[in-house]
Amino acid sequence: MEPTPKESPEGLDLVRKEIDEVDRELLRLLARRFDAVRQVATTKRNEDAKAILDSARELDVQAHWVQDAESLGLSAPFARRILKEVLNHSRRIQEPLISGASEQVVHHLKVGYQGVPGCYSSLASAHLMATRTSATVDLGGYPTFPDVVDALQNREIDYAFLPVENSIGGSILDVNRLIVDQSLHVVDEEVWEVEHVLAARPGVKLEDLREVRSHPAALTQCETFLRGLENVERQAWFDTAGAAASLEAEDLRHVGALCSEEAAQHYGLVVLERGIADRERNETRFLLLSLEPEVPDQRLPCKTSLVFKLNHHEGALAKALAILADSGTNLTRIESRPQPDIPWEYLFFVDVEGHKDSPNLSAALRQLRSCCNHLRILGSYPFRTKKQEQHLDVPAPVALPPVQPSCRIESVPETPKAAPKRTTFKIGNVTLGEGTFVMMSGPCAVESREQILESAAMVKAAGATILRGGAFKPRTSPYAFQGLGLEGLRYLQEAGRTYGMPVTTEVMAIEDILAVAAHADILQVGARNMHNFSLLKELGRLDKPILLKRGMSATVKELLLAAEYILAGGNQQVILCERGIRTFETATRSTLDVSAVPVIKRSTNLPVIVDPSHAAGIRELVAPLALAAAAAGADGLIVEAHPHPEQALCDKEQALTGEDLKQLMADLRPIVAGQGRIWS
């Protein structure tokens, strides 16, 4: 019997030495690759027609990586992930070389950020500056955003590096105000993925904590985790890394800090818990600000930031946005800021794709000035929030137009015509739309924590990718089970995260929207609320997918017009659902209008799914109707399933068992495959 590594420490040391040598060789090879990248950049600079991003070349590189990885017994997704990082870093290296920025005689730069060493601002600024310049860079922290800008205005630093928006918390208004009031220029951007950990002094255990401190935003982003800690108070701090530093300075044994793992290491703390944020993806966008403008090479993928004030009359904003749209310019951000001295008039902050000196955008900006009484170009800079790596895996989702709602939903045609180009969007790790087929499944209602966890395990095992469950239940009888409300939302969210599934649940009232949106990935509007226009308008303000069910007596046109209320509010992520309509037939709960699927898909580019459960009302009829819907071209199904249907508190007659759902999935696969679609 061969000795284990513990029994043979000398053998283990030899293996570790080999690993160390391989690691060093990997770094040497990376350095060699990036040296070659620099040579490519020099060549591109001398050939004006060459762009930095050569998609055909990168696809060819990817194909060889995957082929070689598989031949060596490595995972293809693993190889793609490494390649994505290598290519992204290669682009960063090429940018200053092509633009000539690297030839500027600058030996020393100072960059200021808000916070202390180890905070997310310090990490992100170091990452950006590492490839932006060959000069030595000193990074320094300041207590507040105004302090950083004051240092820039006093020329104590060369650049200010400040966060402008967060993927969860939204815009940082104080920074927007400083950019406008201090006449600063935007010269670059960086996006940093925030990963909070709970850290404490060495020797401290989770159960020892009586207080957790961090920046208020971090405390909010970890709300669910913190709520699960008994007898632990929260204390707001000026900075995440500052909270970590305070533990080291005071040698506190009962206090923990929410911070980055780098901050924990920097201040001698140990990590007690990882992965504690309420949402898996938490990204912050930072801007690099200067007193002087810097103009990037036009061959770089660029973004331009504007601020303008409109003449205060009807339709002014629509006209301004139409100018940009007509030029083929894509907006990536728009928001307003009140004018303190002129009540009810606003400054608009707009980010668009493109270089300010490019022909299309330059012409649009000249025209835009005609409808503005103030227009300021804050700067053009490299577009780093653009997901340039998307072509390595799947095509980027097709965005719906931001104006002219009629281009998304047309009137129902009287004669057949070509269907509009389909749209797709992501819901967590699931893609819904053109070329995909999605199964949403789960119980009618969330009845208990144990029940929804068991249901999630069951539908996941059967092949469903989105978990459904009602926390608020509209019932015909006031005496029927109405759902668990907020408690049910928390159980549903927990079940979805436990099994890696986005969740969908119904929202019934305007006052419930924020609570439901905080827990669910898709907000569902039931058939009874299809004509609740006040609710639809409010949902149009969300950046969350909305599943809109057809009313029991609604025509297809009425369904499309109801969707238009959501789209007109700005929310383009609408899923239409046929769930059966009321007719004179009584053999089923409703009559499933299968013909509505192709009719709707001729009239809109929105995804269309079908709910066979509510149409049938009878378990044995659900599968045949589901198969018919798939054959008619539905983009997915939403099917009720329960681990113990006989014990269900509502709609037990139509809920499938786990075995029923598995059989349905097996029967669906040849239909979906025959249409050339993939399961998502």
Report d(CA 161, CA 57) in Å as an integer.
34
CA–CA separation, 489 vs 643, rounded Å?
19
Measured in degrees and rounded to the nearest 5, phi and psi for residue 376 equal -130, 130
Q: For residues 184 and 178, is the Cβ–Cβ distance under 8 A?
A: yes
286 is catalytic: yes
Strand pairing of 546-549 and 574-578?
parallel
Identify the bridge partners of residue 467 per DSSP, sorted by sequence position: 441, 503
Contacts of residue 577, defined as CB under 8 A and 6 or more positions apart, other chains included, come to: 547, 548, 549, 550, 608, 609, 610, 611, 638
- CA dist 227 → 232, 276, 477, 490 (Å): 9, 11, 35, 11
Considering the candidates 284, 423, 465, 505, report the single residue annotated as catalytic. 284
- The greatest distance separating any two alpha carbons of the chain, rounded to the nearest whole angstrom, comes to 86
Report how far residue 409's alpha carbon sits from residue 311's, in angstroms, rounded to the nearest whole number: 31
Which of the following is catalytic: 161, 286, 348, 437?
286
Rounded CA-CA distance 308/337 in Å is 10
Are β-strands 185-193 and 283-290 bridged in parallel, bridged antiparallel, or unpaired? antiparallel
Distance CA 525, CA 531 (A): 10
Rounded Cα gap, residues 280 and 222, in angstroms: 11
Label the pairing between strands 342-353 and 302-310: antiparallel
Q: How far apart are CA 280 and CA 426, in angstroms?
A: 14
Distance, in Å, from the CA atom of 651 to the CA atom of 645, rounded to the nearest integer, reads: 8
Examine the residue annotation and report whether 415 is marked as an active-site residue of this protein. no
Strand partners, 678: 436
Q: In whole angstroms, how far apart are CA 543 and each of 219, 566, 570?
A: 22, 11, 8
Alpha helices in 463-555 (DSSP H): 486-498, 513-519, 533-539
Q: Residue type at 617?
A: G
Question: Dihedral of the CA atoms 512, 513, 514, 518 (nearest 10)?
Answer: 100
Q: How many CB atoms lie within 10 A of CB 48?
A: 9
> Residue 525: in which H helix or E strand, if any?
strand 522-525
Q: Which residues are catalytic?
A: 284, 286
